[in-house]
């Protein structure tokens, strides 16, 4: 393991890079005497363009392999050699490189002024809370452009109540509302949600520890109301009902944050729910109304319901 530690400490100085990206020299800490007798220039594989900028690090794995009693370095050595034989087109990040360069050419460079303005700051109108599901990209389905929506994604698009304490979602809410002063918060749920299925499937009592179980349990009230309302229907239909019910639960949880309730009461912040069904590509939207005295004695109501299809 000592060899691994030296590898993590060993790094190239920014002053050691030549114009073409090769290392002219190496910066090393005194303890890394194992590299003292190795010529860095000899470690660079000039003919291998794929490893041109990483040649020193790659070959350093091979050098350390002979000095690693646990064989860890040897495994890395073998893995790198296999990778060396692969076609670069098989690199999972190669496609991302192509997409990025396309974005830069067709979007960024054609809208340079807009992106330069974004570099100075952001003032989005929307805060979006969406599911982490790879099939549900709010910017894609709703057409948000850079700078228009401050977005946080988590399993099952849940909003924990204020009393739950710190989380990435509550931190994002605090920044979006108090600093960016967004005027709309949109909670977006979707069909076939794995998080909601986990919620509806989990046993009432379980001693097993699960991060997913603990997280989706935040929506247990949505599960209970679903079982009470449509418990006689199929599991699939119960899940669909709960997917929408949990959105309303998250909207109510938003109001447990004092600074959100204050802005909603003042009329400068609106709370919206949205449901994306990707089986037929439709989108339902609604708005939560919150006032101290509404008809029937309730503080909450739903308005503006519509379906885009």
Q: What share of the chain is helix, strand, coil (3-state, %, to 5)?
A: 50, 15, 35
Question: Does the annotation place 70 within a ligand binding site?
Answer: no
Helix axes 72-85, 2-9, angle to 10 degrees: 50
Inter-residue contact 282 to 309 (CB < 8 Å): yes
Shortest CA distance to 85 belongs to which of 48, 41, 129?
48
Residue 3 CB neighbours (<10 A): 18
Q: At CB < 8 A and 24+ separation, what contacts does 147-154 make? A: 147/114, 147/118, 147/122, 147/123, 148/124, 149/124, 149/125, 150/122, 150/124, 150/126, 150/175, 150/176, 150/180, 150/182, 151/127, 152/127, 152/128, 153/129, 154/129, 154/215
Residue 131 assigned ligand-binding role:
yes
> Annotated binding residue at 137?
no
Residue 241 is assigned to a ligand binding site = no
**Which residues line the annotated binding site for Zn(2+)?**
131, 133, 190, 193
**Which residues line the annotated binding site?**
131, 133, 190, 193
């Amino acid at each position: 393991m000592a060899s691994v530690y030296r590898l993590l400490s060993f790094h190239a100085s920014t002053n050691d890079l030549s114009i073409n990206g090769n290392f002219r020299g190496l910066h090393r800490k005194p303890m890394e005497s194992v590299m003292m007798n190795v010529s860095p220039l000899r470690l660079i594989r000039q003919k291998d363009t794929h490893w041109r900028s990483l040649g020193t690090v790659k070959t350093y794995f091979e050098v350390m392999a002979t000095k690693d009693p646990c064989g860890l370095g040897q495994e890395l050595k073998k893995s790198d050699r296999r990778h060396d034989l692969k076609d670069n087109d098989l690199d999972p990040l190669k496609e991302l490189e192509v997409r990025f360069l396309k974005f830069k050419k067709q979007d960024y460079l054609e809208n340079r002024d807009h992106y330069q303005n974004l570099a100075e700051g952001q003032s989005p109108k929307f805060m979006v809370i969406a599911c982490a599901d790879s099939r549900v990209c709010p910017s894609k389905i709703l057409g948000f452009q850079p700078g228009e929506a401050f977005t946080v994604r988590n399993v099952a698009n849940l909003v924990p109540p204020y009393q739950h304490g710190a989380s990435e979602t509550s931190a994002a809410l605090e920044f979006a509302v108090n600093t960016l002063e967004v005027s709309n918060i949109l909670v977006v749920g979707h069909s076939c949600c794995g998080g909601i299925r986990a919620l509806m499937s989990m046993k009432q009592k379980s001693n097993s520890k699960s991060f997913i179980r603990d997280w989706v349990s935040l929506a247990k009230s949505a599960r209970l109301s679903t079982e009470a309302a449509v418990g006689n229907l199929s599991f699939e239909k119960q899940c669909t009902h709960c997917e929408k019910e949990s959105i309303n639960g998250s909207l109510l949880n938003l109001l447990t944050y004092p600074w959100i309730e204050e802005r909603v009461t003042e009329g400068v912040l609106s709370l919206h729910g949205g449901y994306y069904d990707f089986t037929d590509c439709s989108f339902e939207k609604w708005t939560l109304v919150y006032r101290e005295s509404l008809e029937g004695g309730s503080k909450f109501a739903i308005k503006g319901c519509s379906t885009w299809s």
